[in-house]
Structure 1
Amino acid sequence: MRFAFIAKHRNIWPVAWLCSALDVSRSGFHAWLKRSPSTRSRHDEVLVTAIDRSFKSSDRTYGARRVWHDVLAEGLSCGLHRIERLMRQNGLRARPRRRGLPKDTGERAAVSDNLLDRAFEAAAPNQKWIADFTYSAPRPGGSGVHMTGMH
């Protein structure tokens, strides 16, 4: 971690200053620069390409477990935690699939005939019934539907 920080910032500050501030030797830093990548880091690079391919083919919806199964199916061996770590380091975070609206079947509810034709007054009780439904947020212990009516 320290050597990577020095390598990233060596064009801003002198290497000697950075090495002394981070308490590492300059010779150790230069040896780290010339050293070839380890077997694990080379295998991680192979895994990252397979992870990226699986993740993008799933339209960025697969999490670590599904990507891990795809990587195993390709013949590469690794553990689930390694896949999780590599996905986290490379910023591969699954997003949930969008749930669409319910499919429109084309059927419509039947509309009743207008029998009253806006003549709401009745000569006697129980001859004409109308109702108004108002939907609101439910209250504790009650329903969200309130019905008011005239008769």
Structure 2
Amino acid sequence: MERTTRATPHQFAAWLHDQLTRRGYDLRPRGGGQTRFADDSRIGRATISRILSGQGATDTRILALLSEALRLPLGEVLVRAGILDESELRAVQDPTPGSRRITPEQAADELGIDDGQSRRLFISMTETLQRTPPPNHGEGRAAER
């Protein structure tokens, strides 16, 4: 099975910084943007600061709150955070017709995810994505442009 590269915490930080500045949050020192986004997203300011400094985020609750606050599909946030890569997201959201269905635990085994925390996170996110219909590509994007 070919593996694709996942985003790093620093890439996630750069992506989130871009998302926030595009939405009008002033992230300069003393700009107040981190505090304002923390309030708007219901995520602690310290957590926002850690993510923006490249320390990453793997807590499913935080990633779901980011998804909601940014009005982006959870799957996109998971890919940007490096939890999933694009091919894993597609496979979870839209399995190939006629392909064998496997459980999230079996998928973690096949992907070689054996670290306890990473495994629990993967299984939780996979279960969430299986309950979430694939996004309507292009929908909601016109408003951002």
* TM-score where L is the length of structure 2: 0.32
Q: Counting strand residues as a fraction of each chain, which structure ranks higher?
A: 1
Higher relative contact order (CA 8 A, sep 6+): 2
* TM-score where L is the length of structure 1: 0.31
Q: Rg: which structure is higher?
A: 1
Q: Counting helix residues as a fraction of each chain, which structure ranks higher?
A: 2
